[in-house]
Copies of this chain bind each other. A is one copy, B any other.
Amino acid sequence: MTTNVQVLLANRPTGWVQESDFNIVETPVPEPRPGELLVRNHWLSLDPYMRGRMSAGKSYAASTEIGDVMPGGTVGEVIASHHPRFKVGQFVVGSLGWQQYATSSGEGLVVIDPKAVPLQAYLGAVGMPGGTAWIGLYEHCKPIAGETVVVSAASGAVGGVVGQLAKMQGCRTVGIAGGPAKCAYVVDELGFDACVDYKAGRLYEDLKAAVPNGIDCYFENVGGETMDTVFRLLNAFSRVALCGLIADYNTTEAYGVKMIRSLLVNRVNLRGFIVFDRPDLYQRAIPQLAQLVASGRIRYRETIAEGLHAAPRAFIGLLKGENFGKQLVKLS
């Protein structure tokens, strides 16, 4: 065991994140105290919500302080334990942050089966993104067979699962993604009925053609102009699951959404939600998602950055949509 590598928050960004907003340091590997365990992280998840933690503004979770380790989901191996519930050699998923090694009291760590699905799937389709998709779709969108479900960021870690679950539910499933390669993947590999490339510059016309019966459920990951355009095609009594607004995360002034009137005249139910508010549903979702991934019924793609030194650049790429599928950092 050599030194630990950690990525700290160096500055609060305004607008786009810069690599200089992070500070990568080498520190001694910590010693677990009585009751603690030591984990060697194998995988770090990069997710859009982390942008919120970098800001001081109010969000659903506390901001990360300057100089603190960046927060993030991890999968790792227990390499020392003074904790009765964890044994050396076990694998755990949790939020141990952007670092190679971490001690923990065990709170929030869950032991996982490394043979059921690939380790890093616990950070994607069988983890927080998959659980988010499950809860947003089944609890908030509540689609029924024959309805039309639209999901933005459709090739992403959340959107891809949303569309595949909606398809199983018997829905017409339409993705919105950036560029022909992502759209081809969404249709050909994930099995969506259609995908609209918002970068083609004809989002309204193309989406309208893809939803001949209008939109009953919209799973929103991006916000901004995409949201405004989708709102124009909502059906009466449609549902909007508001999961993310990545278009707004890096601007100093948010986009102004004009089509609020569509929410009124169509009697839309729009709901902001956070996966962690419903641990009851999360516990239902994860075993189902694990089975679906293991049996190949849910597929996903990964973009893997090698090592923590590559993490800041990969995170910036994620915010710009440069990744393809789930963005991970491989730590071992």
Using CB atoms and an 8 Å cutoff, list the residues of chain A in contact with chain B.
Answer: 52, 58-60, 223, 227, 236, 242-245, 248, 253-261, 263-274, 277
Assembly CA distance A266 to B277 (angstroms): 11
In the bound complex, do residue B254 and residue A255 qualify as a contact, i.e. CB atoms below 8 Å apart? no
29 A-B contacts (beta carbon < 8 Å): A52-B265, A58-B265, A59-B265, A60-B265, A60-B267, A223-B260, A227-B260, A242-B260, A242-B264, A243-B264, A244-B264, A245-B260, A245-B261, A245-B264, A248-B261, A254-B259, A254-B260, A256-B257, A256-B258, A257-B257, A263-B272, A265-B272, A266-B272, A267-B272, A267-B277, A269-B269, A269-B270, A270-B270, A270-B271
From A240, which residue of chain B is reached at the shortest CB distance? B270
Contacting A269 at CB < 8 Å: which of B227, B267, B271, B274?
B271
Assembly CA distance A242 to B259 (angstroms): 13
Contacts of A269 in B (CB 8 A): 269-272
Contacts of A59 in B (CB 8 A): 265
How far is the CB of A258 from the nearest CB of chain B, in Å?
4
| Most chain B beta-carbon contacts within 10 A, residue among A245, A272, A273, A277 | A272
From A259, which residue of chain B is reached at the shortest CB distance? B254
In the bound complex, do residue B255 and residue A258 qualify as a contact, i.e. CB atoms below 8 Å apart? yes
Given contacts A242-B263, A254-B261, A268-B270, 6 further A-B contacts (CB under 8 A): A254-B259, A257-B260, A263-B270, A267-B271, A267-B273, A267-B277
Assembly CA distance A253 to B265 (angstroms): 17
How far is the CB of A205 from the nearest CB of chain B, in Å?
17
Contacts of A58 in B (CB 8 A): 265
Assembly CA distance A120 to B108 (angstroms): 61
In the bound complex, do residue A268 and residue B272 qualify as a contact, i.e. CB atoms below 8 Å apart? yes
